[in-house]
Structure 1
Amino acid sequence: MQSIKNWLMAFRPKTLTACLVPIVVATALVKALHLPIDTDVVILALLASFFIQIGTNLVNDAVDFKKGADTEKRIGPQRVTQSGLFTYRQVMIGAAICFLLAVVCGVPLVMKGGTAILVIGILSVLMGYAYTMGPIPLAYFGLGDLFVILFFGLIAVMGVFFLHTHMWTFPSFWLGLQIGFHATVLIAINNLRDADQDRHVNKKTLAVRMGKSFARYEIAFLSLAPFVMNYYWWTEGFKAATLIPLLALPLALLVIKNIFQTEPSSVYNKYLGQSALLHLVFGLLLSLGFFIE
């Protein structure tokens, strides 16, 4: 039983909203446009996304320990490799299994969506691995933020929308950018929290490259931009989708206030949870607005 709990901790369940939200909002947009929804797409896309996210988390857990980024001085949440709960090999095998399951779930999606979905699926698995592994690990070169915007925002939303409709559209692009911005708040807070430790192991995140002040303003921009961008939905006639997500604005302001008033420490783990909640609540409220249009 304890082993199961340890694996669940390694999966980092709080980060899995980054998989759920793009699929829900993309499907809600399909509904708002009065186009047919494919239930199989929703289920398979959720499973594939969860497995890719978990696999990415496991690779990150193992590799950060091996490269010295996670030590006993870590102020972030407990990591299973660093704490000795599992070996590097066990965690990497777990990651490989997750990526394999993602491929299995992705095969029916490729049959529905064709070459474009095949390319997206292959890139998603490869980039999940390359986030901390390979000759140019994205997280170690300051590319993690861009990775999240692309794969947990634009590609996720546009890909699911395409699977439902077989169309690439500007509305799905705009929606993907909104969701990607909020998903990136999580990694930006994570990198700000770990900036001093990352600097010592040459992990050049944006917080390390550009400094903590830049990281704080990046978080503020990423938190607020989706609310400003919501005006687009008003011009498209989606009044409910424009207004209902404003209920999440106080949470965004709280995240920003906390980041600017507090120096990086273990309390940032709480702020990370708040940012995950912001991503989830904004996405669900926006989806609700689309569903009732």
Structure 2
Amino acid sequence: MNVWQIWWLAIRPRTLPAAAAGVVMGSALAWADGSFQAGPALAALCVALLLQIGSNVANDVYDFERGTDTSERQGPLRVTQAGLLPAAQVKRGMWIIFALAAMFGLYLAFLRGWVVIFIGLAAILSAIAYTGGPFPLGYYGLGDVFVFIFFGLIAVTGTYFAQVGSVSAAAGWMSVPVGLIVTAILVVNNLRDIENDRKAGKHTLAVRLGVRGARIEYLACMMIAFAILPVLILLNIVP
């Protein structure tokens, strides 16, 4: 396996559609309002994908350093745990990825002002803090909240704002089902890892709720997400 194949494993490309979902929704709403702009939309997509990739790489190395990723772990191969890349090299790659995300973010900040810089810094810090730092969000059951906020609320409204310069009620409301669906994906992953996480002391929300509670959370996320859309259409909030 060459170095490019190893990094391909580290970035976990199967997670990228979830990162793109909010950008696609925000761009679709901007299009419906006649305000779609390809440049900001593409920049927002690059930011979202790079933040997801950076978060994946950060999780790879920080979960290993905390002893969560072991040979007993289920799911996709983690390159640091497997010894395919040293932790220091993975961290350097993580910072390069976040720097690239910041470059696209600066373009959006040039268009829409300092608030974009604030949101971008919060996103990068949260992506690292998901499994790294003194208070890793994912280890304290806060990962689901992080995903809902950044992959739903901020992704949709931020993409819309980047193109239009304001946030519509439709963008705000449609960010909710997007965030819930992406959160449901996280719940499935956490259910898969629940036993390993429990042994490692990683208290995800799935670990805290238990298998039954996590399944209820998944069903609630999906049911609410699909129930919201017809209500928004009936109320003429979305086109």
With normalisation by structure 2, the TM-score equals 0.96
| 1:6 alignment counterpart | 6
3-state SS of 1:86 partner: coil
Unmatched 5+ stretches in structure 2: none
For each residue in 1:30-55, what CA deviation from the matched residue of structure 2 results, as whole angstroms up to 9, or x when unmatched?
Answer: 2222x321111111111111111111
| 1:166 alignment counterpart | 165
Residues of 1 paired with 2:137 and 2:232: CA distance? 33
3-state SS of 1:211 partner: helix
| 2:73 alignment counterpart | 74
Tell me by how many angstroms 1:114 deviates.
0.8
Residues of 1 paired with 2:112 and 2:136: CA distance? 29
Tell me by how many angstroms 1:153 deviates.
0.3
For each residue in 1:253-290, what CA deviation from the matched residue of structure 2 results, as whole angstroms up to 9, or x when unmatched?
Answer: xxxxxxxxxxxxxxxxxxxxxxxxxxxxxxxxxxxxx6
AA aligned to 2:3 is: S
Alignment of 1:28 onto 2:37: no
In the alignment, is the contact (CA less than 8 A) between 2:108 and 2:162 conserved in 1?
A: yes
AA aligned to 1:18 is: A
| 2:41 alignment counterpart | 42
| 1:253 alignment counterpart | none
Tell me by how many angstroms 1:9 deviates.
1.1
Alignment of 1:213 onto 2:212: yes
Tell me by how many angstroms 1:223 deviates.
1.8
Residues of 2 paired with 1:185 and 1:237: CA distance? 27
Tell me by how many angstroms 1:10 deviates.
0.7
| 1:153 alignment counterpart | 152
AA aligned to 2:58 is: V
3-state SS of 2:80 partner: coil
In the alignment, is the contact (CA less than 8 A) between 2:23 and 2:48 conserved in 1?
A: no
| 2:107 alignment counterpart | 108
Residues of 2 paired with 1:49 and 1:71: CA distance? 29
| 2:89 alignment counterpart | 90
Tell me by how many angstroms 1:237 deviates.
4.2
Residues of 1 paired with 2:175 and 2:115: CA distance? 17
Question: Which moved further from structure 2: 135-144 or 220-229?
Answer: 220-229
Residues of 1 paired with 2:63 and 2:177: CA distance? 29
| 2:16 alignment counterpart | 16
Tell me by how many angstroms 1:236 deviates.
4.4
Residues of 1 paired with 2:90 and 2:185: CA distance? 23
3-state SS of 1:19 partner: helix
AA aligned to 2:109 is: V
Question: Which moved further from structure 2: 166-175 or 7-16?
Answer: 166-175
Tell me by how many angstroms 1:102 deviates.
0.5
Tell me by how many angstroms 1:118 deviates.
1.4
For each residue in 1:208-262, what CA deviation from the matched residue of structure 2 results, as whole angstroms up to 9, or x when unmatched?
Answer: 1111100011111112221100113322448xx8xxxxxxxxxxxxxxxxxxxxx
Could you say what the CA RMSD is over the residues aligned between the two structures, in angstroms?
A: 1.4
For each residue in 1:61-84, what CA deviation from the matched residue of structure 2 results, as whole angstroms up to 9, or x when unmatched?
Answer: 011111111101111111101111
Q: How many residues align?
A: 239
In the alignment, is the contact (CA less than 8 A) between 2:50 and 2:100 conserved in 1?
A: yes
| 2:230 alignment counterpart | 231
In the alignment, is the contact (CA less than 8 A) between 2:41 and 2:162 conserved in 1?
A: no
Identity among equivalent pairs (%):
38
AA aligned to 2:21 is: V
Unmatched 5+ stretches in structure 1: 242-289
Alignment of 1:185 onto 2:187: no
Residues of 2 paired with 1:38 and 1:65: CA distance? 41
